[in-house]
Amino acid sequence: MTEVAASRVLWVTGAGSGVGRATAIAAARDGWWVVASGRRVEALERTVFEIESAGGRGQVLPLDVRDGAAVRLASKVVRERWGRVDALVLSAGLNARRRRWADQSMDEFREIVDTNLTSTATVIDAALSDLRSSRGSVVVVSSQSAWQFNAGAGVAYSASKAGLAALCRTLNNQERSAGVRACCLYPGDIATEFLRHRPAVPDEASQKLMLMPEDVARVVCFVINSPPHVRIDELVLTPVSQA
């Protein structure tokens, strides 16, 4: 049995920053072989360097999740190179500063929905046969604003993140006989570079009160490390300071 075949394989999208990066690093510490995907190769390489510096195992697999053909090819590469997918963490996300019906751009709307919702379905669909074989788990990173309405989150972001719950519920309903489990994760404010998409970026004092990416990563690892007979359908986590 090869080293990879003896390990659990985790495929993470959005692994170059924020929750995706923190999850990749935390999962590697737990013994997962991590496949790190995203658009920014240098950022992915930094993630994998940190994994390997700590004695973990990971590899870069560049990917724009909005490109359906590229997703299918990446899934094939994962299957051929690592032999399996035991868990999938989908954390690639996008928002814009213009968030109201009065000023939003429909081009940005489509890009946000494509990144947050359509691309998530595309990656799940591409990896589903492998997840069936491994009786694997999926963690979809949504947003607290999809669990409890937040007017400031934006039209496109709110709609796309809310749609992720339906993806997880249909996956759990239709694939439970194959042992596939999906968790929709609703984190509140997180101090990451994603904050730059806000109309007004929170100051340093405000960011210190937010969740850290590592906080969310611990929760993700709890889900993917749970026994195969356990399904955690939804989880909400917020900083104490958030209303």
Determine the pLDDT at residue 151.
Answer: 86
> What pLDDT, on a 0 to 100 scale, did the predictor assign at position 3?
52
pLDDT for 28: 97
* CA neighbor of 84 nearest in space, from 2, 8, 182: 8
Domains in the chain with CATH codes: 9-237 (3.40.50.720)
Other C-beta atoms lying within 10 Å of the C-beta of residue 107: 9
**From CA 70, how far away is CA 150, in angstroms rounded?**
33
List of residues 6+ apart from 126 with CB closer than 8 A: 71, 72, 74, 75
Q: What is the pTM of this model?
A: 0.93
Chain centroid to CA 229: how far?
22
What pLDDT does 8 receive?
A: 95
90 close to 120: Cβ distance less than 8 angstroms? yes
Instruction: Report pLDDT for 17.
Output: 95
CB atoms near residue 178 (< 10 Å)? 15
Rounded to a whole number of angstroms, the CA Rg of the chain reads 17
Could you read off the pLDDT tens digit of each residue along the chain, which spans 243 residues?
345 544 799 999 999 999 999 999 999 999 999 999 999 999 999 999 999 999 999 999 999 999 999 999 999 999 999 999 999 999 998 999 898 999 999 999 999 999 999 999 999 999 999 999 999 999 999 999 999 998 888 999 999 999 999 999 999 999 999 999 999 999 999 987 777 778 777 888 888 899 999 999 999 999 999 999 999 999 999 999 887
